[in-house]
Structure 1
Amino acid sequence: MALPLLGGAPAVWTVALVFFQTALLAGYAYAHSLARLRSLVAQVVVHGGVLASAMAALPIAVSRAAGPPREDLPIAWLFALFTLSVGAPFAALSATAPLLQNWYARTRQKDARDPYYLYVASNAGSLLSLFVYPLVVDYHLGLGVQSRLWTVAFVGVVVAVVTCGVVALRQDQGSPSVAAADVATTARERLRQRVVWVGASAIPVALLVGATAHITTDVAAAPFLWAPPLILYLLTFIIAFGKKPLVGAETAGRLFAVVGSGGAALVAATRLPPLLAIPIDLGAVFLGALVCHHALAARRPQPARLTEFYLFVSLGGVVGGLTSGLAAPLVFSSVREYPIALVLALLALAPWGELRSWTVRGPLLAVTALPLLVGVARHAWPAVIGTPILFGAFVVAVVAALSLRSQPLVFAGAATLMLLAALDVQVGAPDVRVRSFFGVLTVETQLAGMKRRTLAHGTTIHGAQSLVPGDEHRPISYYAIEGPMGSVIARRQAASAGGSYGVAGLGAGALACYAKAGESWRFFEIDPMVARIARDPRYFTFLSDCAPSAPIVLGDARLTLAATVNGPYDILVVDAFSSDTVPQHLLTREALRLYVSKLKPDGVVLFHISNRHMNLQPTLARVIHAEGLAMRFGVLDATAELEARGVNSTDVMMAGAAPAVSALAVGPMWREVATPSGAPWSDDHANPLEPIIDRYWPAK
């Protein structure tokens, strides 16, 4: 529901995660306060009343009280939106888990003295829902039905909680006593214990958020890559707090010493293919979180302090989420929070073995700096020091670091040196790298081969300008005149002078150089940083040289198209991407109706749908057919010469009437396509798995 309001940016998920960690803290604080009441009757009555009161915020819907989206203050606006929309029911619901465990600890059940295994059940439920929601619920049901079902389920939870409270009352033996061995005798000891709880829960969350940003930004831009790290994070809770852990603390520590110190650094430094890099990064997340959660499980207190324990665990989650999810993007221009979280997780490892002599430790520590030195030398002599040499330096450094494993601080220092080297290689020396709410933008000059300057969002190029003298204003890549999009614009300009053109998605501004005297061009862009880079002639000169007066409307393209006076257009280009993904709210039936309403009678919409992981042509065909519109599919079978110039594009042209499409869809690159079976996307229901299935397992 919230994703379309800010252009489908992945950071919406990060802010949502931090918000829910914060709401969890509020719920656990309330549960801790309520558990201090001696009367179980009072606890059951109060919590039942709180749950019932929270139902006033149902059914779930986007609250209008937060106002329109704020691209200038997206985080604050999202927090307000989530608070007003789901804050009360979520906080009340989150308090249920520690309260039920606390009530269970008061009963006469045999295992009431150790109710923490119920925490396993709670996380198992979260893990199950993470699979069921995208594969079953969201796959088959619209948002309206989901909201109503969630309301019914919430009522069921209220009834179940009250029932559990009544059962606990019948077996109530009073508040559990605190074992003498569990009592921290001094204020300093209690503070130290709580700091450990906070730290051991903060590091895994920071690792989760940082690794997710790293994978989706630096490794691959594929849909649903946010899900595997979260799945593994929840799984570590289940393992660590289980009665018989599948992976013990010592085994997890030994494995993480290898993967955390060397594996992730190798991935960053040598740019392994995603099929190799992603499993190593996921292994680092899993093992690092498991080490920390084992430390938490080993330090869990007696049931009398259960709600206090969960309160500080949730506080750690907020600390980890705030630092890695919200503070780090403001401080770092690249995803440096991930290796920092790895180093912190390495510090949580318990020492094994002994290596006391500094005559041995000193040289080994020096060896771990070898990749950093090789990386610096590589900047000076890139032709001499290639990836194999750097890879070998990392292998030697990892072996040296593992030899220092008996000293946690020294070992963490060794890992830090290797990760600094990895960052140096990973970040490199681009013209500029900036980070905004909407992602990491990199401008890089390539003087070899195609001789061009590129603008990348994450791992996906969003625009390029030729550096060949005389070709600076000639659009290349997706927008070359030889491609489907360029040929349609040129044909329309030849047929109708003084036209009006709208472009949703600015990129480097390449389409501006199609502008001719007497024409009107307007760009829509959600990321202010993209607009700043595209207008800066130090990086790209498309706008400054070809269309300096063309307005750039900031905001989500669909919302600003609807809210501002613009058009009617000869051509409306929909070229809005979030890294390698087109936001799905721009491809629904309601979105297409908006686009058509902005066209001249013979105007067309051009969709740019080039994608590495999704086949959006069948998706658009279903929606266009459902709306009774005309379409053609454009794909360029590039020659070797065109490929050498980076000319490639996959597009769909749509219009209200077939003649408008036929007049512009000239040449073999434009073809008719059959409408595949399946439900068309709408604002209420859009199945994001569908284009992935169409990409890898197309219908025959």
Structure 2
Amino acid sequence: MLILFSLTLFMSAFLLFSVQLMVAKMILPLLGGSPAVWNTCQFFFQGALLCGYAYAHLSTRYLGTRRQAIAHSLLLFLPLVSLPIALSKTGLSLENTNPIPWLLGLLISSVALPFFVVSTSAPLIQKWFAETDHPSSKEPYFLYSASNFGSLLGLISYPILIEPYLSLSEQSTLWAVAYIILILFTLGCAICLWKFSPQVKSKNYHFSVSKQPVISDKNPTWQQQAQWTLLSFIPSSLLLGVTTYLTTDLAAIPLLWAIPLILYLLSFILTFARNPRLPHQILMTLVPLFSSTLIILFLAKVMRPVALLVPLHLVGFFAIACVFHGELSRRRPSVAHLTEFYLWISLGGVFGGLFNAIAAPILFPSVLEYPLILLLALLTLNNPREAISPQKDPPLLQTPQGDLDTWFSQLRKDQQSRKAQKLGIQFNLKTTQIISLSLLFGALLVGFTARNISQGWFGNLFAIALLIALYITFSLPRPSLAIGLTLILLLGQFSLGNMSGVLQTERNFFGVNRIVYDRRGPYHSLVHGTTLHGRQSLDPQRSQEPLTYFHPTGPIGQAFEQLNSSDRLQNVAVLGLGIGTLAAYAQPNQTWTFYEIDPIVEKIARDTRYFTFLAQAKAPFSVILGDARLRLEQTPNNTYDLLVMDAFSSDSIPVHLVTQEALKLYLTKLRERGIIAINISNRYINLEPVLGTLAQTLGLATLQQLDRDLSPEEKALGKTPSQWVLLARKPEDFGNLSADARWQPIPNTEKAPLWTDDFSDLVGVLRLFDMQR
């Protein structure tokens, strides 16, 4: 019976996370691959999970476990009407600055029903097991580890075993088959509940598998419920915060978002295990040091070496998640309140997703939610829940044996030992907190600027409200409140970024864009995360000179020189605006159209205080907002002579722009001798074999050039390494470029699976990159 219940929980958790990844893969490319897309999807799934947990709690409360099992057995068949899962993309419109409402609506209509039903399994199956006469039924919380292990395996296996070998339609079909298997497992658990549950079960629950203290069988107080919520909220928010920071500002490595989620699940597995082995008190003592270090590194904009910083942030996150989930495990109630306990945990997870995915981009101009939650985690540890492992009964509970003086002497020694142990723990934690808070205070004072006091008050007020909630809920000492208020105010006014050349920061759904002043040029640059989106010289004589990937001596400069000299270009389309650098190649007899998904980027490119490529363009141009591929479908066929794709999202190209269907669309929009130019300059993904396979499938001619051996003089003039691929219907369409030794066809030996809208494999084209770059 225990195996059946464990397998059911494992299967449900596996399905929960595999469907999240499958649906995210369907949606992510349509919105440019922004980390905010994943955060919004996470928020939706957390909300659906909350609904599932609420159903589990209320249905068992009002129907009773046995009758509820019958009702739930019928509910299991309802999602079959919506399987296999598929997304409806009708009505997609991305002209708005915030596509979150559309994204949430799409998720609700496509996947809400099956996800909701599967999400009910974790609390329900544990509740059913608790009502059986199995010897372990009095403490079913260890089954939560089996559930999280299934989630972990689903997360790890998807990019390694599922995505590289199955198309999205095949994945959806396989998921539907697995759901039917889950129905059978769940029905088996329901039968076990009816067959093996006693008619009258004792309400006197004694925990025999955990050495940690738990709350009694009394109804939880509001403070206990708030503690469960906030102990869940902090790791949930931190999960999305560290993911956004790592994948946007530190290292835009594809699939890096999966590692924090793996660690998050692992912390649940370890802390809710039957016999937890984690050194809880040691981790609690180290958390302040991790928190302060990561906050200082974040504020100081330390970006290198990536090979050290990424593991440091991940280890710090894992330690905090283990401590807070460990506190959750220690504060869990008796099984009479099991479903309620999971309901409050789920609510905390939803609040974390709501804060990071919805509120933070509005409240903070940068990823400030990440250091803020680190600070709140540090302050919350002022009042830890201590637990002394009951290795043996104290002398007062033992029958006195032998001489009473010896017995009293042993009693005093045991009391002193326990007191010393507790004081030692508190002293160590207090010491690391004092050190950490002192370092933070000094670092924040260094970056304090009085002129910034009037900025960011909405974010400050929100952070203060969170601090007050923690202060009341955990009965923190008053000094912690005062210190927290001071540090939050200083954190909101930190302006070291201005001193390092950041002139302006703009944040929206698609990420954080920074305008940076570089004295070496001098230049103005647009940076999105770790990706340079364009650079312009402030020297009037060089202000219209294309720099970075678009330098006149680079591949795209050579292409424009040949095409403009032969008067072949009348209409040019560019997917991805940046700062409008390519407009420097425009000629008076041409018409240019830029497609850009992020309205903030257009705003920055048109701001002549920083960039003037568009303002001084020699040809008329227009900027069309929205997803490039969807907006391009509205363009008449045979319109463009050249289509340039430079649609970066941090450091990766949106997958849906380099599929077979996408290239077929581009070809319909090109004239007979039209050319497609694709910028594949990338640190982590090698798209050359992907485009080679696509070209071979569609019968296209190819040219590619990797321009990376730059002289010191070229680097000093603002040129950066780049790699470009040209596609055309016939080799002669390339003109004189076919005879240029710098351009070579893509070798046929470099093969990759054919990417379509239904199949793509990022893992298969990841580079063995140098983390020090």
TM-score by length of 2: 0.81
1:534 corresponds to 2:560: no
Which amino acid letter does the alignment assign opposite residue 591 of structure 1? Answer: A
Cα pair 1:500 1:521 within 8 Å, conserved: yes
1:275 corresponds to 2:307: yes
Partner residue in 2 for 1:233: 264
- SS of 1:116's equivalent in the other structure is helix
Which ranges of structure 2 fall in alignment gaps of 5 or more residues? 1-25, 207-213, 385-422, 452-475
- SS of 2:752's equivalent in the other structure is coil
Q: Deviations over 1:462-502 (max 9, x none)?
A: 11111112111111111111111111112111101661111
Structure 1 residues 70 and 537: CA distance shift in structure 2, 3 A: closer
Partner residue in 2 for 1:674: 747
Cα pair 1:66 1:80 within 8 Å, conserved: no
1:255 corresponds to 2:327: no
Mapping 1:437-586, distance limit 5 Å: 437-447=509-519, 449-496=520-567, 499-546=570-617, 549-565=620-636, 568-586=639-657
Cα pair 2:217 2:334 within 8 Å, conserved: no
Q: Deviations over 1:444-466 (max 9, x none)?
A: 1112x222110111111011111
Mapping 1:205-244, distance limit 5 Å: 205-244=236-275
Which amino acid letter does the alignment assign opposite residue 667 of structure 1? Answer: D
Q: Deviations over 1:312-351 (max 9, x none)?
A: 1100001111012210011111000001111122233245
Give the root-mean-square deviation of aligned CA atoms: 2.9
Cα pair 1:267 1:280 within 8 Å, conserved: no
TM-score by length of 1: 0.89
Partner residue in 1 for 2:230: 199
Structure 1 residues 664 and 199: CA distance shift in structure 2, 3 A: same
Q: In structure 2, what is the Cα distance between the partners aligned to 1:366 and 1:151?
A: 55
Structure 1 residues 411 and 220: CA distance shift in structure 2, 3 A: farther
1:684 corresponds to 2:758: yes
Shift of 1:173: 2.1
Shift of 1:54: 1.5
Partner residue in 2 for 1:388: none
Cα pair 1:210 1:325 within 8 Å, conserved: no
Which residue of 333, 342, 367 maps to 1:310? 342
- SS of 1:85's equivalent in the other structure is helix
Q: In structure 2, what is the Cα distance between the partners aligned to 1:298 and 1:343?
A: 23
Bigger radius of gyration among the two: 2
Cα pair 1:264 1:284 within 8 Å, conserved: no
Q: Deviations over 1:225-273 (max 9, x none)?
A: 1111111011110011112223132122122122122244235424441
Q: In structure 1, what is the Cα distance between the partners aligned to 2:701 and 2:234?
A: 53
Q: In structure 2, what is the Cα distance between the partners aligned to 1:38 and 1:615?
A: 56
- SS of 1:242's equivalent in the other structure is coil
Q: In structure 1, what is the Cα distance between the partners aligned to 2:249 and 2:666?
A: 33
Q: Deviations over 1:75-129 (max 9, x none)?
A: 1111100111000000111001111100000111111011011111001100001
Q: In structure 2, what is the Cα distance between the partners aligned to 1:373 and 1:690?
A: 47
Partner residue in 1 for 2:47: 22
Structure 1 residues 453 and 682: CA distance shift in structure 2, 3 A: same
Partner residue in 2 for 1:393: none
Partner residue in 2 for 1:171: 196
Q: In structure 1, what is the Cα distance between the partners aligned to 2:614 and 2:756?
A: 34
Cα pair 1:346 1:408 within 8 Å, conserved: no
Q: In structure 1, what is the Cα distance between the partners aligned to 2:283 and 2:50?
A: 28
Shift of 1:694: 6.8
Shift of 1:634: 1.3
Shift of 1:2: 1.2
Q: In structure 2, what is the Cα distance between the partners aligned to 1:34 and 1:575?
A: 53
Structure 1 residues 417 and 201: CA distance shift in structure 2, 3 A: closer
Q: Deviations over 1:163-204 (max 9, x none)?
A: 111011101125662659945868xx6110100010000110
1:653 corresponds to 2:737: no
Cα pair 1:40 1:169 within 8 Å, conserved: no
| Aligned residues between the structures | 666
Shift of 1:411: 11
Q: Deviations over 1:256-312 (max 9, x none)?
A: 122122244235424441111111111121111111101110111111100010111
Q: Deviations over 1:19-69 (max 9, x none)?
A: 000000000011111111454442122112112012211110003566555
Structure 1 residues 38 and 673: CA distance shift in structure 2, 3 A: closer
1:425 corresponds to 2:464: no
Stretch deviating more after TM superposition (562-571 or 213-222): 562-571
Cα pair 2:445 2:490 within 8 Å, conserved: no
Structure 1 residues 566 and 507: CA distance shift in structure 2, 3 A: farther
Q: In structure 2, what is the Cα distance between the partners aligned to 1:362 and 1:289?
A: 21
Q: In structure 1, what is the Cα distance between the partners aligned to 2:49 and 2:80?
A: 17
Which ranges of structure 1 fall in alignment gaps of 5 or more residues? 380-404
Q: Deviations over 1:403-426 (max 9, x none)?
A: xx9998289749948993995435
Identity across aligned pairs (percent)?
39
Q: In structure 1, what is the Cα distance between the partners aligned to 2:615 and 2:38?
A: 35
Q: In structure 2, what is the Cα distance between the partners aligned to 1:85 and 1:642?
A: 51
Which residue of 375, 391, 396 maps to 1:343? 375
1:370 corresponds to 2:442: yes
Cα pair 1:568 1:599 within 8 Å, conserved: yes
